[in-house]
Copies of this chain bind each other. A is one copy, B any other.
Amino acid sequence: MSRPVPVALIGVGGVGKAILQQLLAPPLASKFNLILIANSRKALSLPLPTNAPVTPANFLPILEEHGAPLDVPSVISLLASHPDGPGIFIDSTGAEAVPALYPTVLGHGVHVVTPNKKGTSGDLELYKAIEEASYPNSRALIYGESTVGAGLPILSSLKDLVGTGDEIEKIEGVFSGTLSYIFNEYSKVEGGDVAFSEVVKIAKDKGYTEPDPRDDLSGADVARKLTILSRLVPTAPELPKGYASVPTQSLVPPVLENASTKEEYLERLAEGDSYFANLREEARKEGKVVRYVGVIDIANNKVECKLGKYDFDHAFATALKGSDNIISFHTKRYSPRPLIIQGAGAGADVTAMGCTSDLLKIYERIRL
């Protein structure tokens, strides 16, 4: 049996906790050695001096009481100099500051696993620095499967297509679980006249949206995912500012753009209803439903996030349910019918699974 790989987990929100859960249970527990957990302020080295076991249930108060202030450079040293290292740095924060350090982490030979979209969906400069510091330019690996579609095999499939010489023609999908739910409820093949504001409120009550639903409705999250995918396609347009370079249709209707607080926005949400009702009605007359999609269209050199209309018998109309993501890859080989991957694209357990499957891939590469 090979020596377990040392791992540090930064960020213990919902996803971080689920990563912890999977990491400490079979079959992963024997392959990895968790040497540090941290939130945004404090870090706890493991094992504890008392050798008491750390569990997903008990770690938080221990971290608060016994943690030292988080110092990322010393976490990097710990992973780089560990006798079983270099180890793996898991960034489960949502911060901008941590991804800015990926080139440094990788430069120390430490591997990175991240569900944090900020590193690979921002400025091209950071992206290039990450590329230069990682495999095949060094032995340090970086995996971010769960930055798009959570645990769904989206990035790995795209890498396989590109890596084996297929030509990507179009990638089209519903990339946001929140917007999937909202439009699956709002615009159905069988019709219905529920108000848009009602659906958004239900989504918020069910916990499907960010605290401020405008963070979902702005489309920025979808633009980040498209950026990450585009950068894996050699023929896609360059996006110098990352997600900020992606034309993105906002779903905060013009009449509500001047709402200054989320409370005001939520209160006035119904003012936008006629805007969306018109869209739905227009689509319906064409035998279509409305979906919020991300599209990478290579032939037309376009990357964009927008409302699209899809025929009643299109997979985005019939197959899509709940808050599922669905992503279709149209390629030279997968033509005329695309390769389609569908399933939960959000949620702590499946997002964590994207990370732990990345951990496994690194394990299998460094412990062969």
Interfacial chain B residues near A360, Cβ < 8 Å:
160, 163-164
**A366 (CB) vs chain B CBs: closest residue:** B368
In chain A, residues 318-340, which have Cβ atoms closer than 8 Å to a Cβ of chain B?
A: 318-319, 321-322, 324, 333-334, 337-340
Chain A stretch 123-142: residues in CB contact (< 8 A) with chain B: 135-136, 139, 141
Q: How far is the CB of A140 from chain B (nearest CB, A)?
A: 10
Closest to A364 in B: B365
- Do the beta carbons of A165 and B135 come within 8 Å of each other? no
Shortest CB-to-CB span from A32 to chain B, Å, is 11
Q: Which of A95-135 contact B (CB under 8 A)?
A: 135
Q: Are B135 and A356 in contact (CB under 8 A)?
A: no
Residue in chain B with minimal CB distance to A313: B318
Question: Judging by beta carbons under 8 Å apart, are A341 and B341 in contact?
Answer: yes
> With an 8 A cutoff between CB atoms, is A301 at the interface?
no
CB distance A166 to B353 under 8 Å? Answer: yes
Q: Which of A240-269 contact B (CB under 8 A)?
A: none
Contact A356 B319 (CB under 8 A): no
A341–B152 Cα distance when bound, in Å, is 10
| A92 vs chain B, min Cβ distance (A) | 15
Contact between B368 and A139, CB atoms less than 8 A apart: yes
In the complex, which residue of chain B has the Cβ closest to the Cβ of A31? B163
Contacts of A356 in B (CB 8 A): 164-165
Contact yes or no, B324 A337, CB < 8 A: yes
Does A350 sit at the interface, judged by CB under 8 A? yes
Nearest opposing residue in chain B for A157, CB measure: B153
**Residues 339-368 (chain A) with a chain B CB within 8 angstroms:** 339-344, 349-350, 353, 356-357, 360, 364-366, 368
Which partner residue on chain B sits nearest A349 by CB separation?
B333
B164 A22 Cβ-Cβ under 8 A? yes
- Please tell me if A27 contacts chain B, counting CB pairs below 8 Å: yes
Which of B2, B25, B321, B343 is close to A165, meaning CB atoms less than 8 Å apart?
B25
Complex Cα gap A119–B344 (Å): 34
Residue A151 at the chain B interface, CB threshold 8 Å: yes
| A164/B343 contact (C-beta < 8 A), A333-B350, A365-B364 known | no
Is B337 in contact with A321, judged by CB distance below 8 angstroms? yes
Q: Is A28 an interface residue, CB under 8 A from the partner?
A: yes
CB distance from A41 to the nearest CB of B (A): 29
How far apart are A297's CB and chain B's nearest CB, in angstroms? 19
Closest to A329 in B: B343
Q: Would you call A135 and B368 a contact (CB within 8 A)?
A: yes
Contacts of A163 in B (CB 8 A): 27-28, 357, 360
Answer whether residue A81 sits at the interface, using C-beta atoms and an 8 A cutoff: no
* Cβ distance A159 to chain B, nearest Cβ, rounded Å: 8
Q: Please name 5 further chain A to chain B contacts, defined as beta carbons within 8 Å, in addition to the given A26-B165, A165-B356, A333-B350, sorted by A numbering.
A: A22-B165, A151-B160, A315-B318, A321-B337, A339-B342
Which residues of A are in contact with B by a Cβ distance under 8 Å?
2, 22, 25-28, 135-136, 139, 141, 151-153, 156-157, 160-166, 313, 315, 318-319, 321-322, 324, 333-334, 337-344, 349-350, 353, 356-357, 360, 364-366, 368
Q: List 24 A-B contacts (CB under 8 A).
A: A2-B136, A25-B165, A27-B163, A135-B368, A139-B368, A151-B333, A153-B160, A156-B156, A160-B353, A164-B360, A165-B356, A166-B353, A318-B318, A319-B319, A319-B340, A333-B353, A334-B343, A337-B344, A339-B341, A339-B343, A340-B341, A340-B342, A341-B341, A341-B342
Q: Which 6 pairs show the lowest CB-CB distances between chains A and B?
A: A339-B343, A318-B318, A319-B319, A160-B357, A164-B356, A340-B342
